[in-house]
Amino acid sequence: MPYKRKSRGRSKGGKGRSGFVQCANCGELVPRDKAKKVTRRFSLVDPVLARELKQKGAYISAPVDTKYYCVSCAVHYGIVKVRAREERKFRPGRKPL
């Protein structure tokens, strides 16, 4: 059976088995190295109030929210894009050789 990618869609290299994570959207169990990881910071304070507090010199922490998505949900939400066959060989943001 031919395969699309040299890595078969994973980033584990020669590490053996990797753990599983649940997709934040559909709940599917996905290998951690195959899942698409999205890390966002969010503020617990209203933006208007935060601006006033920062002017007074207060420190406002912003917790980090990390979610994992399966490939199909990541494509659906636009986290990753579907790429043509030749574009799949190159990582996004890098120039092709």
Distances (CA, A) of 23 to 6, 7, 30: 24, 21, 7
Q: What is the residue whose two structure tokens read 């990582």?
A: 91
* Tens digit of each residue's pLDDT (9 = 90 or more) over 30-80: 999 999 999 999 999 999 999 999 999 999 999 999 999 999 999 999 999
Please determine, for residue 3, whether its predicted confidence score (pLDDT) is greater than 80.
no
Please state, in angstroms and rounded to a whole number, the distance separating the CA atoms of residues 75 and 54. Answer: 37
Q: Which CATH class is domain 20-83?
A: alpha beta
Dihedrals phi, psi of 45, to nearest 5 degrees: -110, 145
Domain ranges across the chain: 20-83
Using a cut of 0.85, tell me whether the model's pTM lies above it. no
- For residues 5-24, average pLDDT: 89
Q: How does residue 13 score in pLDDT terms, banded at 50, 70 and 90?
A: confident
